[in-house]
Structure 1
Amino acid sequence: MPSRDPLPPLSCLRAFEAAARNASFTQAGSELHLTQSAISRQIKRLEGDLGRPLFERHHDGLRMTPAGEHYFRIVQGVLRELRDETARLRRRSGERQLTLASSPTIASIWLARQLPDFQHAHPDIEIRILTVEDPHRLDLAEFDLGIYYHVPNEVDPPGLNAEAIFDHEEVAAVCSPVYLERQGGVRDPSDLLAHHTLMVVEDHYHDWLTWETWYRELAFDWHPPAHTLRANSFQLLMNATLAGQGVTLGWTRLLAAELDQGTLVRAMPASLPSRGRLSLLMPRHRHLSEPMRAFREWVLSPSA
């Protein structure tokens, strides 16, 4: 009689890893394009195969059992190595391709302006851009290098090293000239809160710099603004700012072209040094291909 296969099905392991990482069957299903019930069935099948529970089901969510926590660390490591090696082998036929991950805002406002210079210097490298808003959701096997704002020791995506692209940057209140023509100038910080529309990002990843933080660190009196436009997309709010709909916090080096061209202007002269730096994110333990080395050298050079 043949012995039972010692390895569980890959589909069960992927479902378990996603459910454990997200602490949710529903979010795991969304990530893997499966229903919540399908994830639940895969987990039950895995638990039956192992002969022990991996999760404790509570009314307020999932918690891993001690066995589940130990198994999760092993499964996550194995799947990561499998993804990396699969991606490496797939790239063998196209070793001149470079996949860059970035947020939609950085990709559209800054990276798209810079890439022509790199492509002119390296015409043999094929560029692919992957836009993901939150670097914590990056799959390390799907990209070569990332460009994101990074706050050292506070917002550290797992498995990635960060090198600052900008050595210094200021955060200022910016708007379009059209907005100032229509609404009038901003007299002072109090006037901005009382009579102007503030763009507010509802995104946990950007919580390291909010309007309230900006005001308090500049020693301005703060109270909730009278008018806001809120969205969970900084790119959407930046497009609305360029269209004249309000005032947003903007990173001056990131928006240098818009400020130089006059499509954006400072609503007030005050600015705050940015704790977050535009940074190059590199997967740890990844062999640097020639395109990766070329891009790293280019983007970290002072002229980039």
Structure 2
Amino acid sequence: MSLVDLGLPPLNALVVFEAAARLANFSRAGAELGLTQSAVSRQMLKLEGFIGAKLFQRTPAGVTLTPVGEAYVAEIRRILGDLAAVTHGARGSAGPRQVTLACSHGIADLWLMPRLQALDAALPGIELRLRVTDDVARLRLDEFDLAIFYRRERPTGVALHVLGTEEIVPVTAPGRPALADDPAPTLLAIEDSLREWLDWTHWFGAVAMPQPPAARVWRLGSYALSVQAASQGLGTALGWTWLLRDRLAAGTLVPAHDFHLRSEGSFYLMRPLDRHVRRVVRQTMDWLVASNAG
């Protein structure tokens, strides 16, 4: 069945339409796409005929979108973006030694990066592609071979291995005062509404300890920056013990309180169930599990 049979316009016309709408000028759209102005105009006339509505208003300076055109281009951009992502994901997972691994920024910075050299040595010739995002709710299964994320609820549609549970304790640099002994602590936090992780409000509420009135809060751009600031003695961060266990074991970070808050969430290693598992993906998954246990 062809696209016409499905009632769909030609894909090239949609690409031309997006460029013309973005640039508000047929000549500039043609220059970007390697077409003449008249070719762009013909494509748009055909597309308007196909839809049965005007998409553009012609002006002396160029073109402007009609209300129908504005609504249509918003959906076309979303669909073209999804098509590009699906194609990129299919191409990215097709290589015999390529593995696409998705994870959050915190996991990439604090858990995965220190292990990459050992991974490269254990699996010679592996081609690793990292898909780093904190918006796991919008991550599609076709965008990765493996993924490592913290989730409050157990994910579906994937094979799972629990790498660690969420347990947090305030951490700071060695020699810094304990949280209970500091009347004016600097509390290091992050500003990210997409995260499902617990924060200072949860911790103080669970320990039944009032936040010191003189405390100040630094909201940094990422969890890795918060941890780095704590390591430099700039304040106290909430330490997720699974992510920071190497630093806690080495003593570069130390607990600033003895209360550990644990939630029902876990850090999961995930693999889509609806895809053939290539040998290099299985090897990578097995290595990540073994590395976590070591």
Do they fold alike, i.e. is TM over 0.5? yes
**The one of 221, 231, 240 aligned to 1:232:** 221
CA contact (8 A) 1:216 1:222 kept: no
Q: Which residue of 2 aligns with 1:263?
A: 252
**2: CA distance between counterparts of 1:294 and 1:96?**
10
Residue 278 (structure 2) pairs with residue 289 (structure 1): yes
Q: Which residue of 1 aligns with 2:61?
A: none
Q: TM-score, normalised by structure 2?
A: 0.67
Q: Which residue of 2 aligns with 1:38?
A: 22
Stretches of structure 1 that go unaligned for 5 or more consecutive residues are 16-33, 54-64
**2: CA distance between counterparts of 1:133 and 1:199?**
19
**2: CA distance between counterparts of 1:208 and 1:91?**
30
| Aligned residue type for 1:291 | V
CA contact (8 A) 2:152 2:196 kept: no
Alignment map for 1:84-103 (pairs within 5 Å):
84=86, 87-89=89-91, 92=94, 94-103=95-104
| Aligned residue type for 1:107 | A
**2: CA distance between counterparts of 1:149 and 1:260?**
22
Q: How many residues align?
A: 252
**1: CA distance between counterparts of 2:256 and 2:270?**
32
Q: Which residue of 2 aligns with 1:172?
A: 169
CA contact (8 A) 2:159 2:273 kept: no
Q: Which residue of 1 aligns with 2:160?
A: 163
Cα gap change, 1:286 to 1:85, in 2 (>3 Å): farther
For residue 210 of structure 1, report the CA deviation from its aligned partner.
1.3
Cα gap change, 1:80 to 1:195, in 2 (>3 Å): same
**1: CA distance between counterparts of 2:220 and 2:93?**
37
Cα gap change, 1:109 to 1:52, in 2 (>3 Å): same
Q: Which residue of 2 aligns with 1:204?
A: 193
For residue 291 of structure 1, report the CA deviation from its aligned partner.
1.6
**1: CA distance between counterparts of 2:243 and 2:265?**
12
Root-mean-square deviation (CA, aligned residues, Å) is 4.2
Stretches of structure 2 that go unaligned for 5 or more consecutive residues are 26-43, 55-67
The runs of at least 4 aligned residues of structure 1 exceeding 6 Å deviation read none
Q: Which residue of 1 aligns with 2:34?
A: none
Provide the secondary structure at the position in 2 that maps to 1:165. Answer: strand
For residue 119 of structure 1, report the CA deviation from its aligned partner.
3.2
**1: CA distance between counterparts of 2:83 and 2:273?**
12
| Aligned residue type for 1:175 | T
**2: CA distance between counterparts of 1:100 and 1:283?**
12
Provide the secondary structure at the position in 2 that maps to 1:206. Answer: coil
Provide the secondary structure at the position in 1 that maps to 2:209. Answer: coil
**1: CA distance between counterparts of 2:199 and 2:267?**
17
**1: CA distance between counterparts of 2:191 and 2:273?**
30
CA contact (8 A) 2:185 2:236 kept: yes
Q: TM-score, normalised by structure 1?
A: 0.65
**2: CA distance between counterparts of 1:284 and 1:123?**
26
CA contact (8 A) 1:145 1:280 kept: yes
CA contact (8 A) 2:170 2:239 kept: yes
| Aligned residue type for 2:178 | G
Identity of aligned residues (%): 30
Cα gap change, 1:99 to 1:230, in 2 (>3 Å): same
- 104-113 or 258-267, which deviates more: 104-113
| Aligned residue type for 1:251 | W
Deviations 1:170-224 (A, max 9, x none): 210001115x0xxx333x2xx55x4100012110123541101112123333577
For residue 300 of structure 1, report the CA deviation from its aligned partner.
3.2
